[in-house]
Amino acid sequence: MENYQLEKRIEDLNRQLQTTIQDLEELQHALSHDLRAPLRAVIGFSSILKEEYSGQLDDEARRLIETIVTNSKKANHFIEELVSFSRLGRKHLLLQQVPMQKLAWQCIHELLTEQEQEVFDIVIGDLPDCYGDAVMLKEVWVQLLKNAIRYSSKKEQPSIEVNFTVADGLSVYVVKDKGAGFDMEYSHKLFHIFQRLHSNDEFEGTGTGLAIVKRIILKHGGSVWAEAVPNKGSSFYFTVPLQEQ
Partner 1 sequence: MNIEKQTIDTISLTINMQTYNEVEIVLVEDNPNDAELTIRALKKINLANNLIHLKDGAEALDFIFARGIYSQRNVENIPKVILLDIKMPKVDGIEVLRQIKGNDLTKRIPVVIMTSSKEQKDIFNSYNLGVNSYVVKPVDFESFAKAVSELGLYWVLLNQKTI
**Interface with partner 1 by CB under 8 A: which range of 69-77, 116-124, 135-143, 189-197?**
69-77
The residue (of 44 and 125) whose beta carbon lies closer to partner 1 is 44
Site string (12-51) toward partner 1, x via CB under 8 A: -----------------x--xx--xxxxxx-xxxxxx---
Helix (H) or strand (E) holding 226: strand 224-229
> Residue 74, Cα to own-chain centre: how many angstroms?
16
**In the complex, least distance from residue 24 CB atom to partner 1, rounded to whole angstroms:** 14
DSSP-based three-state secondary structure for 159: strand
| Burial class for 9, CB neighbours closer than 10 Å (0-12, 13-18, 19+) | exposed
Shortest Å, Cβ 227 to partner 1 = 36
* CA angle (146, 218, 79) in 5-degree steps: 55
Nearer to partner 1, 45 or 186 (CB): 45
CB nearer to partner 1: give 83 or 108: 83
Q: Which is nearer to partner 1, 8 or 40 (CB)?
A: 40
Query: Which residue number, 39 or 119, has a Cβ lying nearer to partner 1?
Result: 39
For partner 1, the closer of residues 38 and 89 by Cβ is: 38
CB of 95 to partner 1, least distance (A): 20
Please list every residue from 118 through 177 that binds partner 1, using CB under 8 A. none
Q: Compute how many residues bind partner 1; rule: CB under 8 A.
A: 19
Q: Which residues fall within 8 angstroms of residue 94, CB to CB, at 6 or more apart? A: 133, 134, 135
Could you give phi then psi for residue 156, rounded to 5 degrees? -75, -40
Rounded to an integer, what distance in angstroms lies between the CA atom of residue 175 and that of residue 167? Answer: 15
Q: Which is nearer to partner 1, 63 or 73 (CB)?
A: 73
Using CB under 8 A, which of 8, 9, 15, 73 touches partner 1? 73
How far is the C-alpha of 134 from the C-alpha of 147, rounded, in Å? 20
> Cα separation of 105 and 197, whole Å?
27
Minimum distance from CB of 26 to partner 1 (Å)?
A: 11
Tell me the closest approach of the beta carbon of residue 43 to partner 1, in angstroms: 5
| Best CA proximity match to 124, nearest among 178, 163, 152, 176 | 163
Query: Helix 100-111 vs helix 134-150: angle between axes, to the nearest 10 degrees?
Result: 50
Is there binding between residue 76 and partner 1 (CB under 8 A)?
A: yes
Stretch 91-110 residues interacting with partner 1 (CB under 8 A): none
Q: Which residues bind partner 1 (CB under 8 A)?
A: 29, 32-33, 36-41, 43-48, 69, 72-73, 76
